[in-house]
Amino acid sequence: MEAAWISSVVTISTYNARTLTSESSIEDLLMQARRIRYDVIGLAETRHRHLFNAVYDTGEELFLGICDSRRVGRVGVLVNASLSMNIDSFEQLTTETDVYD
């Protein structure tokens, strides 16, 4: 019996989220994201002070890493509902790198 390979395309976008610190700015990001086709949006320059993980009623999941004491921006990711069920955990290894399993 031969193994069958299933190919799939994942659409990844990036977004400079320097102002992503308030509830209204997060809601604005979600509204903008719904206007495009995406699976994952990588967020750069986030300035959230605490680890943040939210699952929205649309099924989208948002992960934000923390910034260091100088409030230097971190990274985060917004995952479409089609992929969010495949994420088991979020762990920030250092202030420079985040890992998604």
- Residue 1 clears pLDDT 60, i.e. is over it: no
Question: Would you say 98 and 65 are in contact if contact means Cβ atoms under 8 Å apart?
Answer: yes
Q: Helix, strand or coil for residue 12?
A: strand
- Residue 2 clears pLDDT 80, i.e. is over it: no
What per-residue confidence (pLDDT) applies to 60?
92
Strands 74-79 and 61-64, sheet pairing: antiparallel
Regarding pTM above 0.85, the answer is: no
Q: What mean pLDDT comes out for the span 66-77?
A: 69
Q: Helix, strand or coil for residue 90?
A: strand
